[in-house]
Amino acid sequence: MRLLLATANKDKIREIGEIVKGLPLKLISAYELNAVPHVVEDQPTLEGNAIKKAMQFAQASGLLSLADDTGLFVEALGGNPGVHTARYAGETCSYADNRQKMLAELDGVTNRKAFFRTVVALALPDQVLGTAEGYVHGKITETERGSDGFGYDPIFQPDGYKKTFAEMNAEEKHKLSHRGLAIKNILPLLKSYIGGKKNDQ
């Protein structure tokens, strides 16, 4: 069974591949398509963006597609950056730009509470099969720590842990991360679809 990962983010492609390792799937990255659709993430919710990406990639490829959208919600920033997490410091910003902006805005702030939320969508060219989500609560650290992971990982420390995501190895992170949990929660639907296709053969 071929599954298209509906993203051009190489870090997400690698991470999702690690999470679904062992399933009877042949993962196809966006870079293997003849033409990668440019999806404008203009929806007001994570669900809306995930569904839009999954549908447009499925329609462009004819393949079963999995897309995600992730938001970091910081209490002291009124829930921002939320749906704008990836572009927090501007349309062409880097991961480092986003982290530096957040640390600057939280400079001297004692309330560092935050949570990540990921929504994943599974779609065929003619329908959305379903969505699932995953959360992880934690805090924004005062400085960057660790060199693994990507995005906000060096400044996010999940509740109950002394390490940031960037200080964890991949196995540690996937067990509790927002994206790991969201994909785990979509797996029953994915497995059901794979099973149904096998029965049709």
Question: pLDDT digits over 33-65, tens only?
Answer: 777 778 888 999 999 999 999 999 999 899 999
Q: Alpha carbon of 31 to those of 10, 18, 81: distances in Å? A: 9, 18, 28
Domain that holds residue 71: 2-200
Backbone angles phi, psi at 19, to 5 degrees: -70, -40
Query: Among residues 63, 61, 74, which one has the least CA distance to residue 103?
Result: 74
pLDDT at 124: 95
What is the number of structural domains in the chain? 1
Helix axes 178-200, 10-19, angle to 10 degrees: 70
Catalytic residue numbers read 69
Backbone angles phi, psi at 87, to 5 degrees: -120, 30
Question: pLDDT digits over 77-118, tens only?
Answer: 999 999 999 999 998 899 999 999 999 999 999 999 999 999
CATH of the domain at 157: 3.90.950.10
Query: Which pTM does this prediction carry?
Result: 0.89
Q: What percentage of the chain exceeds 90 in pLDDT? A: 66
